[in-house]
Structures are given as C-alpha cells and as structure tokens.
C-alpha cells in the first residue's frame, strides 16, 4: 500500500526593489529604550550593527505596496511553478505579524484577513478554498507548513498554499537602532499530498513554546525618541535575551525533529534557518551539531541571504528556500533526495522545525 507524503511542489518569493543600505542610517540619531541619546558617531554604530548581524542592506516595499500585495505576488509564482489549477487549492494559510499597514500610519489592518485579501487578489472562485491567517511570530511560515502537513495526512486537505509575508518597515521606530534589522518580503509554497512507496517530503516536525517572561522578548512599545507619543507603538525587542533563549532552545528542537525522522545528522545537506542575525544563526547551527558530538564549519550547510535582504520575519525561510531552488544563492544548491532541516524562532517565544526530503 502506498503512503501519503506531504511535498512542496512549487515555491515563489517577492523581494522588494527598494534597497536600503546601512549608509542610509549614518545620519540618524538613535536613543536607548530609556530615551537617552546613544553617544558616539552614528557611522560607528551602524558598522557595529553590521558586524553583529551581518546585514549590509535590506529591502523595503514601495509606498504603493502592502503586505497582502507582496504575498499575492509570491503566491502567483508558487502556483506557476507548481503548474496547478488555483481552483484546486483547499486552504490558503497566510503567516504574518501586522497585517496590512498603510503608509504614514502605524495601524494594522486585518479586516478582512490577509488570506481573504490574497484569495481575492488571486481571483480564486472556489468557495471550498478556505483562507485564514496564522499569527505565530517569525516561525509562522514553518508553522503553516506543519499545519498543512497535519491536514493533508489526516485526509482533510489535499493541496494548500502557505504564504509568509510582512512589511516590517511600516512598524519600525527609526530612533531605535534595532530597527535596522527589519525588512519586507514574501515567500510562498504549494504544499500537497503525493502517493509514494518511500517516505519523502515532510518526514518529521517539532515545536516548542515558552510564554512566561519569554512571551515579551518581542513586543510593541513607544518610540525611543524623547517626548514621543506613548499611544503610538512600534516593534521592539530584547535582543540579548532573544539571543540567549535561541541558543538554549532552538538546537534542541532541531535535534528532536531529526531524531523523529530516524535519520543521522550526516544525511543533512542543508539547514534553512530563520534569517534573524548572522552570528546567532551560526551559533545555533554549530550548537545543533555539537549536540551530536560534531564540531564543524557550518557555512557549507547553512545558506544565508540576510546580508542583502535583512530580517523579513515570516518571509525569510520561504524566500531563502525559493532563492536556492532558483540558483540565486551562491555556493548552495538543493538536489532531489537531499535532506533539509528547516527551523525558526520568534515572538511568543515560539520555536519550530521540520525535516524534509527533497
């Protein structure tokens, strides 16, 4: 008897055309969270930021674009690559954090949901295609894939469209140096059932959540600028706490996912991790290997695009995956049969991972 596998049959991404370089911030005045001015040359602050995060530039959506717009573009690419009839999609799962945020406002708009907006933009007429949003922090797209896998293997769905999209440039506090991390982007995948004799596609999953003091490591807060309006809130984070939390918990979750797959770590060809911070990601993957008694240079297995694209939250992993498949990430490729580990960490705090055979 053939088994039902959950496979990704098409991917797509949208990288905004607007490039914002680190040099664009050298004239910016930055303040601490207590609203005291950060002393020192702004260029030195920006250079230190690059050394820590690895980010040299990021992409921001244009004034005419919103989160649902770029999500729909990525979805169109995924549908095209999969070669499917869009009317056969059972579910549209859209991971995001802030919905549509219109220029010159800071108010999020999720009425209707982004998934409903994207279904409308894709002109899908099928009333049995159910669109809904998923709010899970940066791991949202991976969680959407895990959710699609559960629906498919339970027989409740055969084909899902999973999208991760955010326009974080609309919710940043320009007086906070952490704002230089965030960017905009969208990634999408067609996830569907496929019969086979051998296990392929999604082999195993793992999820972790800590919501005591960790719940507020990422939050909305007032601007760092003195005399700012306290009723207007922007994305904020406790960077050091996130770093320490991630190093303590993400490698272990990845290890659980790999152990559930029954595969040895030597089979892993690539680790596709949320593009949050270059040094943090390297430390996470190194610790993942150390948990298996291995010390190694992880750069051959850890593709990155954070240097040019920044941190687009839910969009980083699907964007990275799509770019590799399209040959757009130097020195990295994915071949049929390769074993991949996907992993992410973000607001909540939430962690997830899945093992995938291409």
- DSSP SS3 for 187: strand
- Long-range contacts (CB closer than 8 Å, 24 or more residues apart) made by 218-222: 218/137, 218/242, 218/346, 218/347, 218/348, 218/349, 219/347, 221/33
Contact 301/282 with Cβ under 8 angstroms?
no
Check residue 111 and report its DSSP letter.
S
The model's pLDDT over 322-344, given as tens digits with 9 standing for 90+, comes to 999 999 999 999 999 999 999 99
The model's pLDDT over 277-311, given as tens digits with 9 standing for 90+, comes to 999 999 999 999 999 999 999 999 999 999 999 99
For the purposes of burial, counting CB atoms within 10 Å of the CB of 231, is it exposed (0-12), middle (13-18) or buried (19 or more)? exposed
Q: Mean pLDDT for the chain?
A: 95
Q: Which residue has the tokens 């933009």?
A: 121
The model's pLDDT over 211-236, given as tens digits with 9 standing for 90+, comes to 999 999 999 999 999 989 988 999 99
At residue 104 the predicted structure's pLDDT band, cuts being 50, 70 and 90, is: confident
The C-alpha atoms of residue 30 and residue 45 are separated, in whole angstroms, by 9
- Same CATH topology for 3-196 and 201-357: the answer is yes
The model's pLDDT over 166-177, given as tens digits with 9 standing for 90+, comes to 999 999 999 999
pLDDT at 199 over 80: yes
Looking at CATH, the fold of the domain delimited by 3-196 is given as Peroxisomal Thiolase; Chain A, domain 1 (3.40.47)
Report pTM. Answer: 0.95
**CATH code for the structural domain at 201-357:** 3.40.47.10
Q: Where are the domains of the chain?
A: 3-196, 201-357
Separation of first and last alpha carbons in the chain: 22
């Amino acid at each position: 008897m053939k088994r039902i596998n959950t496979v990704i049959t098409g991917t797509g991404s949208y990288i905004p055309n607007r490039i914002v370089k680190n040099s664009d911030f050298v004239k910016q005045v930055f303040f601490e969270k207590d609203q005291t001015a950060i002393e020192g040359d702004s260029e030195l602050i920006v250079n230190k930021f690059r050394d820590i995060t690895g980010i040299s530039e990021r992409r921001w959506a244009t004034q005419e674009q919103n989160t649902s717009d770029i999500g729909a573009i990525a979805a169109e690419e995924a549908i095209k690559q999969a070669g499917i009839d869009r009317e056969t999609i059972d579910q549209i799962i859209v991971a995001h954090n802030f919905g549509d945020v219109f220029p010159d406002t800071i108010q999020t708009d999720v009425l209707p949901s982004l998934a409903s907006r994207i279904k409308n933009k894709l002109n899908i007429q099928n009333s049995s295609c159910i669109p809904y949003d998923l709010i899970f922090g940066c791991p949202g797209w991976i969680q959407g894939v895990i959710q699609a896998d559960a629906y498919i293997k339970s027989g409740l769905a055969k084909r899902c469209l999973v999208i991760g999209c955010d326009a974080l440039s609309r919710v940043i506090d320009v007086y906070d140096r952490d704002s230089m991390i965030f960017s905009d982007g969208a990634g999408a995948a067609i996830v569907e059932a496929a019969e086979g004799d051998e296990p392929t596609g999604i082999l195993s999953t793992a999820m972790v959540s800590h919501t005591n003091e960790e719940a507020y490591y990422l939050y909305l807060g007032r601007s760092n600028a003195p005399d700012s309006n306290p009723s207007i809130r922007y994305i904020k984070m406790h960077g050091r706490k996130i770093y320490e939390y991630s190093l303590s918990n993400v490698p272990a979750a990845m290890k659980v996912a790999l152990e559930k797959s029954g595969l040895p770590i030597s089979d892993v060809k690539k680790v596709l991790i949320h593009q949050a911070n270059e040094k943090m990601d390297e430390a996470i993957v190194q610790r993942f290997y150390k948990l298996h008694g291995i010390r190694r240079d992880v750069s051959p297995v850890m593709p990155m695009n954070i240097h040019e694209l920044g941190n687009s939250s839910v969009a980083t992993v699907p964007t990275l995956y799509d770019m590799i498949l399209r040959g757009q990430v130097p020195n990295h490729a994915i071949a049929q049969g390769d074993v991949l580990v996907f992993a992410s960490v973000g607001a909540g705090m939430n962690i997830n991972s899945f093992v995938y055979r291409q």
